[in-house]
């Protein structure tokens, strides 16, 4: 998932590891990516809001060990939309956006307890190393999600419509108490999971220093399908340790 933060080789490893916990989301191609709620009469809307305020927050997002999904990766300010896949198998997972025939092509993996990012193509990019952060697993990612803040229940206007729970995660430094202190919001993410299954991810937006390749520093993904069955995860040869 949006662990693209680690492909920013200029960022310190500790910072990259922190922002790697942040994910995020778009809407349909051709419209500004956003989560849109279906319009309802004011009285009904107020009643629904009252019920939501009274109800407890649902459990936070949790990426499953096995899954497979397809969708789109959107970089709006570059006017680029490419195919996107996201798959998991036995706790490892892999995102792949674009391909050799597209202007953007990268892959992010959690593989055997290490976080990898390899960017094959990006406008204006001339370096293509495989970044590695050891000691990062699916369990670490899901522990990061446990601190997410519940935004609310929403309906995404698609075909079909998606009823989702909207969550916000972020990294702000330094971590100081409330009050008038200087703070730097390093990364933010909005995650939209199915209202009936916190392990089904429909949208993700990531914004912040982990998106330094993008002039506007925000990138979106939207899933068209998400199935709970094992996918395929393959470590690129360029990321394999030297023998």
**Could you tell me the domains of the chain?**
3-30+66-156+166-239 (2.50.20)
For the stretch 78-133, pLDDT in tens is 999 999 999 999 999 999 999 999 999 999 999 999 999 999 999 999 888 999 99
Note the pTM of the prediction, 2 decimals: 0.79
Q: Length of the chain, please?
A: 243
Measured between alpha carbons, how far is residue 114 from residues 34, 99, 130, 201 in Å?
Answer: 31, 23, 12, 22
Task: Give the chain's largest Cα–Cα span.
Answer: 67
Cβ pair 190, 154 in contact under 8 A: no
Write out the two tokens for 65.
């060990």
For the stretch 183-222, pLDDT in tens is 887 888 999 999 999 999 999 998 877 777 878 778 999 9
């Amino acid at each position: 998932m949006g662990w693209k933060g680690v492909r920013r080789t200029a960022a310190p490893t500790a910072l990259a590891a922190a922002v790697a916990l942040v994910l995020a989301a778009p809407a349909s191609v051709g419209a500004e990516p956003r989560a849109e709620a279906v319009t309802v009469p004011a009285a009904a809307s107020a009643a629904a809001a009252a019920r939501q305020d009274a109800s407890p927050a649902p459990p936070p997002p949790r990426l499953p060990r096995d899954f497979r999904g397809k969708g789109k990766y959107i970089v709006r300010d570059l006017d680029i939309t490419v195919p996107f896949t996201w798959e998991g198998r036995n706790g490892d997972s892999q995102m792949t956006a674009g391909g050799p025939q597209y202007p953007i092509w990268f892959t992010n993996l959690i593989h055997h307890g290490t976080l990898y990012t390899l960017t094959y193509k990006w406008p204006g990019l001339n370096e293509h190393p495989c970044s590695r952060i050891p000691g990062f697993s699916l369990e670490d990612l899901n522990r990061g999600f446990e601190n997410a803040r519940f935004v609310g229940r929403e309906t995404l206007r698609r075909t079909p419509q998606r009823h989702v729970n909207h969550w916000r995660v972020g990294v702000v430094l330094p971590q100081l108490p409330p009050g008038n202190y200087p703070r730097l919001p390093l990364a933010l993410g909005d995650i939209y999971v199915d209202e009936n299954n916190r392990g089904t991810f429909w949208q993700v937006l990531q914004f912040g220093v982990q998106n330094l390749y993008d002039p506007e520093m925000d990138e979106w993904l939207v899933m068209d399908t998400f199935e709970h069955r094992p996918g395929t995860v393959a470590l690129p040869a360029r990321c394999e340790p030297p023998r």
